Amino acid sequence: MAAQAEAEQELDESLFRRDGLPPVGSLVPMSLQHVLASFAGVITPAMMIATTCGFTQEQETAIIQVALILSAIDTLLQQFPLFGRIGSGLPILTGVSFAFLPAFQAVGAQFGFSVLLGAELVGGIVAILFGIFYSKVRSLFPPLVTGTVIFTIGVSLYPTAIKYMAGGAGSANFGGIYNWIVGLITFAVVFALANFGKGVLKLGSIFFGIIIGCIVAIPFGMVDGSEVLSAGWFSLPQFMPYAIEFNPAACITLGVVYIMVNVQLIGDLSAASAGSMDRMPTEREIGGAIKAQGMVSIISSFFGGLPTSAFGQNVGIIVSTKVINKWVFGGAAFVFLAAGLCPKLSALLLMIPQPVIGGATISVFGTITLNGIRILVKDGLTPRACTVFGISVAFGIGIAQVSGSLAGPGMPEWISTIFGTSAITPCAVMAIILNSVLPPEDNTPEQRNLKPLRNGGNGSSDEK
């Protein structure tokens, strides 16, 4: 009996290692909580692009299907790198991302979906080249820059969680009391299990919180199973459902956007690795992650889909639970793949009310922000670091919160598309520029003034 208990404990410990197969009882809830936390994030960008481009119901269903399948492919590549080079081999969950959405909506509305797919293909090539030559530009992304970007990623996710808890942006009952009741109950369950639970209940707090939240939402009429009954059992995506066209302006715009989203991907990878494995990702790991994202983007353009990136909410789960086993993420990828091939399963996941998703994920977003702070303070909050951090965050958050601040008379539309729709892009660009132009800490007047104070405070630098 003792030997059996010891064996079970060893299996459970495999959750906190990259290799080894955890027991099914631990693996399933760990995988499903990643799926439930990100499923809405996977399908919502596809739905919004479908609306922008005037898709029919059949076309919208197809783009959602491709989004789920591509999310599975990218996540599998990140866990099991192809040829050891395409994919990161790090604990991360990737999928069709909101990060591309504003630029894709602008291109889709102006040029149409065929041009969007052409620009997506070019963007994928740009991403692959960026991944190949990442070692040459790595000096642009020291911990000061990545920590600042990670902090901004966490802060920028807060409104997303609140919108979910309030019922979902654009919903008829947005901000209604029943939405908040369901969202807050879900949050309370997740919080209680994460802080007072033990074993699987503690590690699977998101999963169990969503299950209970869905049960609570039933009396309020938020759960409708009619779509599950009418959905089909099996469907394959269609190759080249749309023509692929190339427009120079669209290609250049999305090429720049891809680089900025890859900076965000670097931040997410750094946050996940630092928070769960106490180390930063290597050049090969980051380069592999970016190349995988680029390859999936190219595949997506031929199947009428959208590009992928890392999910911030899942980074929060990884950092909170420290569960990094590759089979946990592989299990989540399998669910995405099954949902993409089986419309009935995807309809089942679509039943989850948005207040439940918001209540379950808001608790993990703060973890991302704090992890960014941890990276920042690792080498000390020197005057130079505070300057880079403070100004970069001010530009990023400030521009994002003032709608239309980059869309006035004479302002090129591409600038507004790239820099005016997300706090992360202007923050990342400003952090890279400031870190590059400011002199090293030892050459700053502030640092020269601090040194004598640490050696006695009398203005002399001689050690006693």
The tens digit of pLDDT for each residue in 36-70 reads: 777 767 877 787 677 678 788 778 778 888 999 99
What is the distance in angstroms between the CA of the first residue and the CA of the last residue of the chain?
Answer: 63
Are 167 and 362 in contact by the 8 Å Cβ rule? The answer is no
The tens digit of pLDDT for each residue in 120-163 reads: 999 999 999 999 998 888 888 788 887 888 788 778 778 877 88
Of 400, 417, 404, 420, nearest to 106 by C-alpha is 417
The tens digit of pLDDT for each residue in 186-242 reads: 999 988 887 887 766 776 777 788 888 889 989 888 887 777 777 678 888 889 889
Q: Does 269 score more than 50 pLDDT? A: yes
> Across the chain, what does the average pLDDT equal?
81
Residues β-bridged to residue 86: 82
Are 75 and 90 in contact by the 8 Å Cβ rule? The answer is no
Sign for the CA dihedral angle at 407, 424, 295, 287 comes to positive
Q: DSSP states of 122-136 as a string?
A: HHHHHHHHHHHTHHH
User: DSSP code of 438?
Assistant: S
Query: Is 199 buried (19+), middle (13-18) or exposed (0-12) by CB count in 10 A?
Result: exposed
Integer Cα distance of 95 and 215 in angstroms: 27
Residue 290 burial (CB count, 10 A): 30
- pTM summary value: 0.70
In sequence order, the 6+-apart residues with CB closer than 8 A to the CB of 94 are 71, 74, 75, 78, 293, 308, 309, 310, 311
Are 120 and 297 in contact by the 8 Å Cβ rule? The answer is yes
